[in-house]
Amino acid sequence: MLKRWSAAVLGSVLLVSTLSACGGENASDSSSPGAAKGDGKITMGFAQVGAESGWRTANTKSIQDAATAAGIDLKFSDAQQKQENQIKAIRSYIAQKVDVIAFSPVVESGWDTVLKEAKDAKIPVILTDRAVDSKDTTLYKTFLGSDFVVEGKKAGDWLVKEYQGKTDPVNIVELQGTTGSAPANDRKSGFADAIKAAPNMKIIASQTGDFTRAKGKEVMEAFLKANPKIDVLYAHNDDMALGAIEAIEAAGKKPGTDIKIISVDAVKDGMTALAAGKINHIVECSPLLGPQLMDLAKKVVKGETVEPRILTVETEFTPEQAKAALPDRKY
């Protein structure tokens, strides 16, 4: 590592002296963003999770549009929900000496080594959407995104209220997001905490559907086969709920009536199902992080200090509210 670093510094010194603005040190020099290209423009390397859901597609569009609007050169990669692909992408951004790296970590653990490499290369890192569990918080500048524990809690609180005064057992099945991801871990724990308030509520089955429609459908089919009495489905995102709705209908049951459904995100397709009464409640999670991310990138590249955690403002939707919001819903 040390050897490689000194070789890189030496290389950059040589290049700087011959080409004047093309070195490793210069690329991350706060006074000269874009120095590596010589155009003064900030270059951001963004390592996206994948394209697993409507939320993710909207998030990618928000980031790409905001980069264009902010005059930031964006290098974008899609990791197809695989941590090793994200690590490769981040390493390539480090090698390309971008000014700032942003990424949405697919899972929470296992980032220390690559984050340390970015820090050693003096490239600031911004976490967007999903968090990491690294103990060393100096490995990144800030986190921009939602509080997933609060989202899970909102879902559970709604359910407890919905069944208020009733003491019959309520059998819940849960479709978890990607195993090991911050939203899956936190939405699960927030929900579990909230339903403790109603001792008749029980999670009878809980499995990952990887945040996708196809997996949501497949796992719901298995839940339906194994459990004769399911009262409620809690899905960690709309896409899995939409897949599950197909499975429920194929089993001859009515989603939203025979089985109540709560999900998280509030993307257009989810809101449409909510307005149609097939989903009963949605907790919003905003994917529109692009503009804030670009502002933060400009600040950290300048060397300004930013808040360590910036939370997104979000609401919840009933079927009526979904109907009202749908005509203006952009994603």
**What is the contact surface with ligand GYE in residues (CB under 6 A)?**
52-53, 55-56, 129-130, 183, 211, 237, 239, 264-265, 285
Shortest distance, position 78 Cβ to ligand GYE, whole Å: 13
Measured over the CA atoms of residue 294, residue 300, residue 306 and residue 311, the dihedral's sign is positive
Q: What are phi and psi of 75, to 5 degrees?
A: -105, 120
Q: Which is nearer to ligand GYE, 21 or 192 (CB)?
A: 192
What are the structure tokens assigned to 216, written together? Answer: 């949501």
DSSP states along 53-64: SHHHHHHHHHHH
Shortest distance, position 40 Cβ to ligand GYE, whole Å: 33
Shortest distance, position 47 Cβ to ligand GYE, whole Å: 14
Q: Which is nearer to ligand GYE, 26 or 85 (CB)?
A: 85
Q: Which is nearer to ligand GYE, 8 or 184 (CB)?
A: 184
E-state strands within the chain: 43-48, 73-78, 100-103, 125-128, 142-145, 170-176, 201-208, 232-235, 260-265, 281-284, 309-311, 316-317
Shortest distance, position 180 Cβ to ligand GYE, whole Å: 12
Q: How far apart are CA 211 and CA 204, in angstroms?
A: 20
Secondary element (H or E) of residue 46: strand 43-48
Q: Which is nearer to ligand GYE, 27 or 264 (CB)?
A: 264
Shortest distance, position 201 Cβ to ligand GYE, whole Å: 23
Q: Which is nearer to ligand GYE, 25 or 147 (CB)?
A: 147
Q: How far apart are CA 198 and CA 280, in angstroms?
A: 19
